[in-house]
Structure 1
Amino acid sequence: MTSITFSQLIEQLKKPEFYPHPVVEPIKVVQTHISAVFLTGDYAYKIKKPVNFGFLDFSTLEKREHFLNQELAMNKPVASEIYLEILPITQEGDQLKLGEGGQAVEYVLKMRQFPQECLFSSLFEAGKLTESQIQELGKLVAQFHAQTRTDDYIKSFGEIEKIKQAFDENYQQTDKYIGIAQTQKQFEETQAYTEKFFAEKGELFKQRREQDKIRESHGDLHLKNICLWNNKIYLFDRIEFNEPFRFVDVMYDVAFAVMDLDARGRKDLGNIFLNTYIEQTGDWEGLQVLPLYQSRQAYVRAKVTSFLLDDPSIEESVKQEAIKAASDYYRQAWEYTQQKSGKLILMSGLSGSGKSTVAQKLAADINAIHLRSDAVRKHLAAIPLSEKGGPEIYTPEMSQKTYHRLLELGIMLVKAGYPVILDAKYDRREWRAGAIAFAESENIPLEILYCTAPLEILSERLQTRSGDISDATPDLLASQQTHFEAFSEIEQPYVKTLDTTAGN
């Protein structure tokens, strides 16, 4: 900038007369460690701070202009109603103007302003963020990832050496906050976990690249970057300034949203989002890398919050709040790295007996992975979950494949430390036997939750069911009841019967 400091620029943009349109006074300024956003009423204006943190460099006017244009280009496809244009801030003498002739001293991103109460973070704080909205978010993120691009260059960022660089940088940039916002023990154990993960999981990272799970993702998917506006959910503020932060495993994005909900004390909502997403995508293998990225995302929030301690423009009271917030995030990052014990739960019962309803509630309560046979079956058949399956996906051979895949996934996830709920009829002893044998051989806790209700109630439920991925119809019930194999003496100790007649 010429003859004007950043602080003076902020003061200019806070003045109503700076804007060529009516504004709502006073103009509110929202600052982060890298930007400032000015809320004027109908429009919001974003400028980037002249900072260089290594992982981003906005130190020159040219770089700030470049990255604002990048931000516009990346967010237009997902939020075209919000992202409008880049404008210069020009100087004529001592006068600053927006988008007029003269020498450009700064650039600003003009956006359509939506009410701040539309942010998912605001909805959450107001107690208005619902389970159904979280489910819709899970589906939206799944669709978003399906449409994002990947190629050999992008997939190269899934190599351990490149992923590890960001982790190493995080630790290098935060050791100075030991004793201020985190403990030596947390720092050392969090770092040791990631070092071990990278050393031992080479094949897993290779599979993620080969399965095209490294994509141009969002990169910063937490509640403050999601809004519900005009009855539509928008993902916005994608990472534009650093390729390694956006050319990432799709679970990197998922981990950020789950971590944010966890940090806000709502692991149940994080669980609902996670289970919705993975059911839509079928990416249950991705759960193996989720804890690594959850820890990383919590650590990043701790790091950027810590950076506020070094900003001379931030008030002391805000810095004290930042220390507490950073401490909480550092602790959370460490907690994700701690060893966890898995558990296996089988749902059992006829169609309409409430298995999935019970399983969904239980999963949210104990933070379990909920695997529905209906989803597994359709992913095996490569048909959309929203489509009705034909008779070819309900043959004995396909059912055998479905139950085999269910158990395979269950074993993988239990070994990774997850509580897992396998949600299917489990009406045959041979299918239950595999789960029992695994649990007993590995000394894994096992439960079989048998849901039951009168046939007329099951029939009514199936008759009125809508919007569900299950294809079951009332005419199947008599046959299901006839072929259900009763629990043996060996199975009985694991069985808990749930009468769902009154609903659940």
Structure 2
Amino acid sequence: MTNDLLKLITQMQQPSFYPHAVENIELIQTHASLVFLTGEYAYKVKKSVNYGFLDYSTLDKRKHFIETELKLNQKIAPELYLEVIPLSELDTQLVLNSSKNIVEYALKMRQFPQENLFSNLLKADKLSSDRFIELGKIVAQFHISAESNDRISSFGTVANLNAAFQENYQQSQKYIGTVQTKEQFEATKAYTDSFFDEKKDLFQTRRDRHKIKECHGDLHLKNICLWEDKIQLFDRIEFNESFRFVDTMYDVAFTVMDLEARGKPEFANVFLNSYLEYTGDWSGLLVLPLYLSRQAYVRAKVNSFLLDDPQISEAEKQKAEQTASDYYRQAYQYTQRKLGGLILMSGLSGSGKSTVAKRIAHDLGAIHIRSDAVRKHLAGIALEKPGTESIYTPEMTQKTYDRLLELGTMLTKEGYTVILDAKYDRLTLRQPVITEAKSSNIPLKIVYCTAPISVLRDRLNQRQNDISDAGADLIESQKANAENFTTEEQGYITTVDTSRADWRSEAIYFEGLRFIAFSS
């Protein structure tokens, strides 16, 4: 530690240094920065370091990157990121906010309780599925409004992406036989190599669809918090554009991977389905496994580096060794192909299809695709806005079901279990799915949801804050037009009476839905 850095730390830990009342000052130190927690405010100072991918080695560079950090994060967390303040040295003393003899810069932020980090809230069991539905929408809104242009898109070429992946493998080879096995390393690397070699068109499609954007770059649970009971993303990467100019699924993968690493796959599934429904980017699932493996592998690599740090205690090294091993295993597991399957929901509006589908998705980690969302995305209508009559024409309905079939087929072939959540009340809508499942050897099940007409009416009359436009006035016509299942279809069907108070109970639920064993 240099004398200048030691002096800065010493003086910034004194209450008299600050022009406002302070509580107990706490210092959080990372490899690249110092954060001083003073009570109401936090001050972040960048260290004079150069790691290649991160260069804060001069005052001008630190000024540039701290101003960039403020600008980037004010876009997503204006309540937290306040201003950049110069630190000046006057008569051997450091002072805040003077224009004379500036020796450093600090980023002033609104401080929040550390227990409000999503990582800590999750550990304290203070987060619900509803929070992750909300998080999915917030990340989706952030990505929808994020900038994309030709320069940003160039970061998504196969050459650029593959180079970054290969660097990870080169830097971690030395840990084979200690925290990762040779088999894990070779299988994970082989998956990446074949992915880039065989799916070049997929990466070009992501670029053509403007999915390479100025994203967050580090969207794990320690960079998400609650501020005044609102979800807040913060700490976007400013120091390296290649970490920020990425596929939107790169960001999503970080959150999903982190939740699964913390033993909460059900929250990962809820977050992912919420994000996909809001963006309509179900085709992004084709690249998600690659990025999931990448995020876990990088976490493994970073923890591996700690094993070579002489300043790390043996106890900390043992913890890092176990953490690295767990992440290497997780990175490998993401590369292992799974057997997918297709679940067709069926039933009148208000019969509980979406409720049952959500339960199945929760239990199986399935992708839940609602026809209402697909229809509105095809029409270019925001999900929360009511649809006009034009999106419910026979032609639009056919387009919606065609898209459902396209998505279901595409994703199950990639190993996903997919729930197609629509009425599927006519043979002409169901038969193409059955035909495709047979020809592609896709496991298929049909879940038929039912309830008395009076219950359906009550549910639809009480429905609020839902993307569906169906009302109780449609029940009679839907019932009249619904076609019975054929003898062939009966072999795929299980029926769930959602009017039964105990349908969610283990006995009733698994008696009806245990057929989905193909996904487990």
| TM exceeding 0.5 | yes
Match of 2:274 in 1: 276
Q: CA deviation at 1:315?
A: 4.0
Q: CA deviation at 1:147?
A: 1.0
More deviation, 106-115/297-306 = 297-306
The DSSP-based 3-state class of the residue aligned with 1:44 is strand
Q: Which of 450, 456, 459 pairs up with 2:457? A: 459
Match of 2:475 in 1: 477
Match of 1:24 in 2: 23
Task: Go from structure 1 to structure 2 and tell me whether the alpha carbon gap of 1:335 and 1:66 turns closer, same or farther (over 3 Å shift).
Answer: same
Match of 1:63 in 2: 61
> Residue 15 of structure 2 aligns to which amino acid in structure 1?
P
- 8 Å CA contact retained: 1:33, 1:308: no
Q: Which of 235, 246, 249 pairs up with 1:248? A: 246
More deviation, 98-107/259-268 = 98-107
- Partner Cα distance (1:405, 1:425) in 2: 15
- Given the alignment of the two structures, is residue 342 of structure 1 paired with residue 340 of structure 2, yes or no? yes
Match of 1:44 in 2: 42
- Partner Cα distance (1:190, 1:70) in 2: 35
Q: CA deviation at 1:144?
A: 0.7
> Residue 501 of structure 1 aligns to which amino acid in structure 2?
S
> Residue 385 of structure 1 aligns to which amino acid in structure 2?
L
Match of 2:426 in 1: 428
Q: CA deviation at 1:21?
A: 2.6
- 8 Å CA contact retained: 1:158, 1:249: yes
Q: CA deviation at 1:239?
A: 0.8
Q: CA deviation at 1:410?
A: 0.3
Match of 1:398 in 2: 396
- Partner Cα distance (1:333, 1:131) in 2: 25
Match of 1:153 in 2: 151
- 8 Å CA contact retained: 1:171, 1:191: yes
- 8 Å CA contact retained: 1:135, 1:273: yes
> Residue 163 of structure 2 aligns to which amino acid in structure 1?
Q
Task: Go from structure 1 to structure 2 and tell me whether the alpha carbon gap of 1:17 and 1:186 turns closer, same or farther (over 3 Å shift).
Answer: farther
More deviation, 391-400/492-501 = 391-400
Matching of residues 73-92 of structure 1 within 5 Å: 73-92=71-90
Match of 1:410 in 2: 408
Task: Go from structure 1 to structure 2 and tell me whether the alpha carbon gap of 1:315 and 1:50 turns closer, same or farther (over 3 Å shift).
Answer: farther
Match of 1:264 in 2: 262
Q: CA deviation at 1:56?
A: 1.6
- Partner Cα distance (2:5, 2:256) in 1: 35
Match of 1:15 in 2: 14
Q: CA deviation at 1:454?
A: 0.3
More deviation, 160-169/59-68 = 59-68
Q: Which of 169, 194, 197 pairs up with 1:196? A: 194
- 8 Å CA contact retained: 1:368, 1:419: yes
Q: CA deviation at 1:103?
A: 3.9
> Residue 64 of structure 1 aligns to which amino acid in structure 2?
R
The DSSP-based 3-state class of the residue aligned with 2:85 is strand
Q: Which of 108, 111, 114 pairs up with 1:110? A: 108
> Residue 55 of structure 1 aligns to which amino acid in structure 2?
F
- Partner Cα distance (1:30, 1:496) in 2: 55
Q: Which of 163, 169, 189 pairs up with 2:167? A: 169
Task: Go from structure 1 to structure 2 and tell me whether the alpha carbon gap of 1:129 and 1:57 turns closer, same or farther (over 3 Å shift).
Answer: same
Q: Which whole-Å deviations, capped at 9, do the CAs of 1:205-258 have from their partners, x for residues lacking one? A: 111111111110111111111111112221110011111111111111111111
Match of 2:513 in 1: none
- Partner Cα distance (1:420, 1:471) in 2: 23
Task: Go from structure 1 to structure 2 and tell me whether the alpha carbon gap of 1:185 and 1:90 turns closer, same or farther (over 3 Å shift).
Answer: farther
Match of 1:238 in 2: 236
TM-score (normalised: structure 1): 0.95
- 8 Å CA contact retained: 1:239, 1:245: yes
The DSSP-based 3-state class of the residue aligned with 2:127 is coil
Q: Which of 318, 331, 337 pairs up with 1:333? A: 331
- Partner Cα distance (1:283, 1:476) in 2: 30
**CA RMSD for the aligned pairs?**
1.8
For structure 2, the 5+ residue unaligned runs are 505-520
Match of 2:507 in 1: none
Match of 2:518 in 1: none
- Partner Cα distance (2:32, 2:307) in 1: 14
- Partner Cα distance (2:442, 2:337) in 1: 15
Task: Go from structure 1 to structure 2 and tell me whether the alpha carbon gap of 1:8 and 1:361 turns closer, same or farther (over 3 Å shift).
Answer: farther
- Partner Cα distance (2:99, 2:304) in 1: 40
Q: CA deviation at 1:133?
A: 1.1
Q: CA deviation at 1:310?
A: 4.1
The DSSP-based 3-state class of the residue aligned with 2:445 is strand
- Partner Cα distance (1:107, 1:330) in 2: 38
- Partner Cα distance (1:392, 1:497) in 2: 33
- Partner Cα distance (2:375, 2:400) in 1: 5
Task: Go from structure 1 to structure 2 and tell me whether the alpha carbon gap of 1:172 and 1:141 turns closer, same or farther (over 3 Å shift).
Answer: same
Match of 2:508 in 1: none
Q: Which whole-Å deviations, capped at 9, do the CAs of 1:144-183 have from their partners, x for residues lacking one? A: 1111111111111111111122212222222233334322
> Residue 83 of structure 2 aligns to which amino acid in structure 1?
E
- Partner Cα distance (2:312, 2:363) in 1: 39
Q: CA deviation at 1:191?
A: 1.3
Q: CA deviation at 1:142?
A: 0.9
- Partner Cα distance (1:285, 1:29) in 2: 44
Q: Which whole-Å deviations, capped at 9, do the CAs of 1:77-104 have from their partners, x for residues lacking one? A: 1111111122233334543333346544
Task: Go from structure 1 to structure 2 and tell me whether the alpha carbon gap of 1:228 and 1:88 turns closer, same or farther (over 3 Å shift).
Answer: same
- 8 Å CA contact retained: 1:50, 1:60: yes
- Partner Cα distance (2:18, 2:324) in 1: 36
Q: Which of 490, 493, 503 pairs up with 2:491? A: 493
- Partner Cα distance (1:178, 1:90) in 2: 48
Task: Go from structure 1 to structure 2 and tell me whether the alpha carbon gap of 1:496 and 1:269 turns closer, same or farther (over 3 Å shift).
Answer: same
More deviation, 132-141/172-181 = 172-181
- Partner Cα distance (2:37, 2:311) in 1: 19
Q: Which of 436, 439, 457 pairs up with 1:438? A: 436
For structure 1, the 5+ residue unaligned runs are none
Number of equivalent positions? 502
- Partner Cα distance (1:308, 1:60) in 2: 26
> Residue 126 of structure 2 aligns to which amino acid in structure 1?
K
- Partner Cα distance (1:149, 1:313) in 2: 41
- 8 Å CA contact retained: 1:150, 1:216: yes
- Partner Cα distance (2:324, 2:351) in 1: 46
